[in-house]
Amino acid sequence: MKRGTITVLGSATSMGIPTIGCECATCLSTDPKDRRSRPSVMLNWANRCIVIDTGPDFRQQALREHVRHLDAVLYTHAHADHILGLDDLRPLTYDRSNSGTRLPLYARANTARHLRNVFQYVFDESYKYGGTAKVTLNEIDGPFDLLDLRVVPVPILHGDAEIYGYRIGRFAYLTDFSTIPEASLPLLAGVEVVFLDALRHTFHPTHSTVANSLQVAARIGARQTFFTHIGHDLPHAATNRSLPLGVELAWDGLRLDVELED
């Protein structure tokens, strides 16, 4: 069986923890696991490396994890906390310039449209000022082959907006959802390791709460569930003590082995 390693690049909600100007206990905490950068994960296998989302902290995350080569980026949706690091893909595309190849990005159509708007100069063939990331943007609307992996987009609801989570083998990454549609649950059958959005305890119109994500976790039934996109209402150690066996908060730098085939 084909195995790989997931590394959590970032586990924070959109503003990052500590949050600018905030003096709450989590933002002032000295526990390194309470320092959370914007949400993203990296998957490594057989000298291959892909990331899901490139947020505003991508540069620091890539330096921290000594990323030297990237084979692809999957985007979940086009909110700032998931895309603003796209420009920092530049040094990871230089090795391709010589061979004339480009780093492939994958996104659903509406996300791709936003990426082309926000990063117009990157996708504008007539841009003459150089220094842009050498990337290609591939629109996806269902399962596809990426290198030797099968990638299954999982439609999830982020408030009213449908965005993508991703399943690869027995691993799934579902960030920024308020609801998992019933029709998407079969796509998650047999998943062993799952990441779920869990912003805080109190209701939010576009994100899941701890209580809701515990219900989702029970329905998916993965061996290990990690909560991500975590707000400052959830201090790492105290929150983990309140969670059932098999469910815990993710943290920046967390690494785990995953099975990449069904």
Sheet bearing 247-249, strands edge to edge: 144-146, 149-158, 161-168, 171-174, 193-197, 224-228, 247-249
Tokens of 126: 């007539």
Residue closer to Zn ion (CB basis): 102 or 204: 204
The minimum distance between CB 17 and Zn ion, in angstroms, equals 7
The minimum distance between CB 19 and Zn ion, in angstroms, equals 5
Site for Zn ion, rule CB under 5 A? 14, 19, 22, 24, 27, 79, 81, 176, 232
Longest Cα separation, the chain? 55
Q: CA 36 from chain center: how many Å?
A: 13
The minimum distance between CB 41 and Zn ion, in angstroms, equals 13
Residue closer to Zn ion (CB basis): 27 or 118: 27
Residue closer to Zn ion (CB basis): 19 or 138: 19
The minimum distance between CB 226 and Zn ion, in angstroms, equals 16
* Residue whose token pair is 């305890």: 201
Neighbours of 94 (CB within 10 A): 10
Residue closer to Zn ion (CB basis): 50 or 234: 234
CB 175 within 8 A of CB 229: yes
Q: CA 75 from chain center: how many Å?
A: 8
Could you give the C-alpha distances from 252 to 14, 95, 172, in angstroms and in order?
14, 27, 17
Residue closer to Zn ion (CB basis): 8 or 149: 8
Nearest Cα to Cα of residue 65 among 89, 90, 46, 42: 42
The minimum distance between CB 3 and Zn ion, in angstroms, equals 28
Nearest Cα to Cα of residue 248 among 215, 226, 232: 226
Residue closer to Zn ion (CB basis): 27 or 132: 27
The minimum distance between CB 134 and Zn ion, in angstroms, equals 26
The minimum distance between CB 142 and Zn ion, in angstroms, equals 22
Nearest Cα to Cα of residue 139 among 195, 74, 200: 74
Nearest Cα to Cα of residue 199 among 22, 26, 78, 51: 26
Residue closer to Zn ion (CB basis): 71 or 252: 252
Residue closer to Zn ion (CB basis): 142 or 205: 205
CB 230 within 8 A of CB 249: yes
The minimum distance between CB 262 and Zn ion, in angstroms, equals 28
Alpha-carbon distance of 56 to 60, in angstroms, equals 9
